[in-house]
Amino acid sequence: MWIVDQRICELWTINKRRPLTDDEMTEFIHCMDAHLKRAWEIAKLKNLSLVASMTNDVKWQHELCAKLERLMG
């Protein structure tokens, strides 16, 4: 699990027991921003990989898949 996702889960669990402090809420927002950026990048790479596949650009598709694997761990 990506460390940012792990921290989001921790903060969410804390928030179920008590309200987050201002610092925790700021951290939660930063983590959610990072999560969103990563999710969009993964979606973009998957869509580009589909385009590469449809255009039979094997080299480009391999490059995109390598980036996806690094990004997804």
| Cα–Cα distance for residue pair 36/28, rounded to 1 Å | 12
Give the mean pLDDT of 11-37: 97
Read off the amino acid at residue 53. S
Per cent of the chain over pLDDT 90 is: 95
> How far is 30 from 51, CA to CA, in rounded Å?
32
Q: For residue 14, what are its two tokens?
A: 């804390």
Above 80 in pLDDT, residue 46?
yes
Domain ranges of the chain: 40-73
